[in-house]
Amino acid sequence: MTETTGTPTPETPTAATLGALLRQAREQQGYSLGEVAERLKFPARQVEALEAGVYENLPEPVFVKGFLRSYARLLGLDEAQLNEQMKAIFPASAAAVQAAPVMTKSTMDYRGMKAKKPFPRWVFGVVVLAALGAAIYAWQSKSSADNLRQTESASQVVANPIAMPGVDANNVSVIPMTPANMASGSAASGMAAASAPTTASAPAANVGAQTLVITVRYRSLLHVVNQKGEVLISQIVPAGSEHRFDNGAPYQVRIGYALGAQVNMGGTDIPLQSHINNKTATLNVGGNNE
């Protein structure tokens, strides 16, 4: 008994008939094999195989059916007639039907089979917790070791203090504090204070009556104009800088950032607090409007 397969042989009359029909329709419409291959995006050898009814070197039957339908649509053939011919060319395989598994009552009886238990998911949680615990333990151990090393280093520093050079322990004596010692110490301190020179804040050297001295504490804009209206300075000056101006009173002074600044005219300090508005000092120096 010969088994029927899904791919026909070259001797199948229907495949040859369908191929001749395709070739005849192509020639009547004036198409060449190259034009059909270009329009369908098929290789020319596949078009020749379809017209010859030989499908052995072509892909699976499902693709051959698609090739035939595309070729028939291009030529305007009857699609119903094409489907009838393809049913004869590609009959359903009885062997394929027999090969399909049949579900019987015995195959569906799972009572004698052992149920497979799924892998417990809680194991993953245990593994993650164990990893976190190990990381925390390692971090704490490292911190404890570092603290221990720091404590040992501090102990060594305290145990071996650095001796002051030129100091002999035999020359050091401890005198208990008594009222007499305290009185003598106070007197000695007073004598030392009396003998020390007194340093008073005095104006800078070589300061005349018409000399203006401005000292800024912070980097600031300094703008000074003399009595003739000449701009003596108008620029950003560095922090801690001192600036002197002679024989130009009265002066118009503007200090952009006046906090901590000092203005001295003829050896006399001029308070800036009443002249500061929003950290900027504006005042006339050396006139009657100070």
Least confident of 6-10, 35-39, 67-71: 6-10
Q: Which range scores top for mean pLDDT: 18-22, 89-93, 120-124, 226-230?
A: 226-230
Question: Tell me, what's the pLDDT at 54?
Answer: 84
Q: Tell me: the pLDDT tens digits for 159-186?
A: 554 444 454 545 445 455 555 555 455 4
CATH architecture for residues 212-285:
Sandwich (2.60)
pTM for the structure as a whole: 0.32
Nearest to 209 by CA among 253, 179, 246, 254: 246
Q: Tell me: the pLDDT tens digits for 65-99?
A: 888 889 888 888 888 888 888 888 887 643 443 44
The rounded distance, in Å, linking the Cα atoms of 173 and 157 is: 25
User: Does the domain spanning 13-97 belong to CATH 1.10.260.40?
Assistant: yes
Q: Which residue has the higher pLDDT, 127 or 209?
A: 127
Q: Average pLDDT of 190-208? A: 45
Q: Which residue has the higher pLDDT, 101 or 196?
A: 101
Least confident of 53-62, 78-87, 148-157: 148-157
Residue 146 has pLDDT above 70, yes or no: yes
Q: Average pLDDT of 18-36? A: 88
Q: Do domains 13-97 and 212-285 have the same CATH topology?
A: no
What residue segments make up the domains of the chain, in order of their start?
Answer: 13-97, 212-285
